[in-house]
Amino acid sequence: MRRWNRWNNLPLRFRLTFLYVCLLGILMVVLGALFYYDVRSFLIDSTATRLRAQAKPVVDEALQNLGSESDVTGISENLSRSITSRDTTAVILDADGGYIADGRTLEEEAPPVPPNAEYVGRALGGDNEVEYIDTASFEERMLFLFIPLRSAADNDEVIGAIQLNTPLTFTDELLSQERLLIVTGVIVALVVGTLGGFWITGSALAPLRRMVATCRRVASGDLGERVNLPHRKDEVGQLAAAFDDMAERIEATFASQRRFTADAAHELRTPLTALGGSLEVLMRGSKDDPEAMNRLIQGMHRETLRLGRLAEQLLDMSRLEAPMATNYEDISLAKFFEEFSSQAGHLAVNRNLVLEKGPPDTKLHADPDTFKQALFNLTDNAAQHTPPGGEINLGWSEENGSIEVWVADDGEGIPPDNIPHIFEPFYRGDRSRSRRRGGAGLGLALVKNITESHGGKVHVESEEGKGSRFTIAVPKGFRPLRNGSPRKLPEG
Ligand SMILES: Nc1ncnc2c1ncn2[C@@H]1O[C@H](COP(=O)(O)OP(=O)(O)OP(=O)(O)O)[C@@H](O)[C@H]1O
Ligand SMILES: [Mg+2]
């Protein structure tokens, strides 16, 4: 186990090269050995075949001069001399394996080794293919083979045998060259394979090393760092691109979070400054002027209400930004809107709230509390930006594949320049800014978050002086990834 861990801790480059070279080595050795043994048996077989072929006509001719008593003694001297040559020695044996003659012409020549009884026996038994290699009795390896002698080709009776032997000098020389070549080849291949493998894995892994360095820099806070490998399209390139994408998103998220915190702090400071100022005036002794005191206290009350609202909305934003924990169910829009429009009446005092009913059996898979919050924010905005006596329309419909819910008003409308920004947190139009009520600019940001957590999109059509229409469109088959605990609707 420990040893395995240590192997896994080695650089990938080293491990890949090692495995690759091992595999290469095993393959080369197996192939080399197969090739070597094939060549070896081919060379020995062809030597034996050549000897037999050379001897055959001589043997055939000699056997024709054989007497009727089938005794090879008479022809043995001649036969052995005719077959014996510079590299081949022939020994003639009788039917009992007894030594009759050899091809020596001079007395000084060394006598041939005594025939091996086992192989002689097999040859005299009629086996035409007896051969063996003697490695011990001579300086060089010697090939021995036997030719059984028969009185006639169609006669099974063996009347003697010829033992031929020839040194394997040439074959062995060739084989030792072959061995050298194979061993050198394997070594060269392994060295080249190691160097090449090291180089290839090194260059393939270089971008990974670069990515590690970039990751470290990003982790240490340098969010602008990128691996940047646009020309690599392989897996490493894809990983680099995915990493860069992720870094991009992280950077954007961090930036928007910073902006959000700064804006939130700014929003909190305004009412706090107002409160502090009022308290200072009170402490300095405006107690004697009950009317001024009353005004100050009322202003302070308004500021605390505003602070409370802001805190509530901030809490809501943070809840929505955390993994969605909502309680989804199929809600009947007819029932939902009936209930909502009766509750929303107090938002739109002096305005005409009109419900435009859509299909009565439309069902929306949503979290009723958060969804009500979104409609609530839209209706609140509509009321804020519509003069008394104006009309606010709300309703639902089913449009190809999605369910649409809208809130429309015939109020002041939104200047075209503001439209791209109204869904940003803390964004308020100029007119709203000057308004005493002083919203935080979080209402529409929340609507956007809620809509997106339902898999939908919110958009606005607006014309200055004519009114605005906010539409939430949710795809019909939408199902959330996971269900969580129910959320509480903050008091407006
Ligand atoms: N129905 C509307 N008609 C005209 N302008 C609108 C309408 N709804 C939103 N706006 C503009 O969009 C801005 C952002 O709205 P949002 O609801 O996010 O903030 P808010 O209403 O100012 O504050 P909050 O909702 O947090 O109390 C508003 O300040 C206003 O300028
Ligand atoms: Mg609002």
Q: What is the pLDDT of residues 84-106, one digit of tens each?
A: 988 899 999 988 888 888 887 77
Q: Is the pLDDT of residue 23 over 80?
A: yes
Which segments of 386-435 does DSSP mark as H helices, in order? 430-434
User: Percent of the chain beyond pLDDT 90?
Assistant: 50
Element (H, E) at 321: helix 290-321
The protein residues having their C-beta less than 5 angstroms from ligand 2 (an ion) are 381, 439, 443
Q: Give the model's pLDDT for residue 440.
A: 77
Comparing 51-65, 145-159, 386-400, the range with the smallest average pLDDT is 145-159
Distance 128 CA to ligand 2 centre (A): 111
Architecture field, domain 325-492: 2-Layer Sandwich (3.30)
Atom of ligand 1 minimally distant from the CA of 431:
31
Q: Give the model's pLDDT for residue 337.
A: 95
Residue 96 has what DSSP assignment? T
Q: Give the model's pLDDT for residue 142.
A: 93
CATH topology of domain 223-322: Helix Hairpins (1.10.287)
Average pLDDT over residues 129-146: 91
Q: Is the pLDDT of residue 325 over 60?
A: no
Q: Select the highest-mean-pLDDT range: 253-262, 309-318, 463-472.
A: 463-472
Q: Cβ atoms within 10 A of the Cβ of 395, count?
A: 17
Q: Whose CA is nearest to atom 25 of ligand 1?
A: 443
Length of the chain: 492
Angstrom distance (rounded) from CA 20 to CA 190: 10
Closest by Cα among 175, 112, 124, 119 to 145: 119
Out of 3.30.420.40, 3.30.450.20, 1.10.10.1800, 1.10.645.10, select the CATH number for domain 2-174.
3.30.450.20
Q: Which amino acids bring their CB within 6 angstroms of ligand 1?
A: 313, 377, 381-382, 385, 409, 411-414, 422, 427-429, 432, 439-445, 468
Angstrom distance (rounded) from CA 176 to CA 164: 24
- Output 306 or 492, whichever has higher pLDDT: 306
Distance 444 CA to ligand 1 centre (A): 7
User: Percent of the chain beyond pLDDT 70?
Assistant: 93
Angstrom distance (rounded) from CA 132 to CA 174: 19
Rounded alpha-carbon distances, angstroms, from residue 305 to 70, 277, 310, 427, 437: 138, 17, 9, 20, 10
Q: Which two tokens stand for residue 352?
A: 């005409």
Q: Give the model's pLDDT for residue 100.
A: 87
Average pLDDT over residues 346-362: 92
Q: Is the pLDDT of residue 11 over 60?
A: yes
Q: Give the model's pLDDT for residue 437.
A: 58
Task: Give residue 362's pLDDT band: very low, low, confident or very high (50, 70, 90).
Answer: very high
Q: Give the model's pLDDT for residue 482.
A: 58
Element (H, E) at 405: strand 402-409
Q: Give the model's pLDDT for residue 320.
A: 65
Q: Give the model's pLDDT for residue 101.
A: 87
Average pLDDT over residues 165-194: 94
Q: Is the pLDDT of residue 292 over 70?
A: yes
Task: Give residue 3's pLDDT band: very low, low, confident or very high (50, 70, 90).
Answer: confident
Q: Give the model's pLDDT for residue 323.
A: 45
Q: Is the pLDDT of residue 188 over 90?
A: yes
Say if CB 67 and CB 162 are below 8 A apart. Answer: no
Angstrom distance (rounded) from CA 463 to CA 370: 28
Angstrom distance (rounded) from CA 191 to CA 311: 71
Note the pLDDT tens digit of each residue in 420-461.
999 988 888 876 655 555 677 888 998 998 898 899 999 999
Q: What ranges do the domains of the chain cover? A: 2-174, 223-322, 325-492
Q: In testing the pocket of ligand 1, which one of 310, 381, 458, 491 has its CB within 8 Å of the most ligand atoms?
A: 381
Residue 421 has what DSSP assignment? G
Angstrom distance (rounded) from CA 51 to CA 47: 6
Element (H, E) at 183: helix 169-219
Averaged confidence pLDDT in the chain = 87
Rounded CA Rg of the chain: 52
Comparing 179-183, 385-389, 424-428, the range with the smallest average pLDDT is 424-428
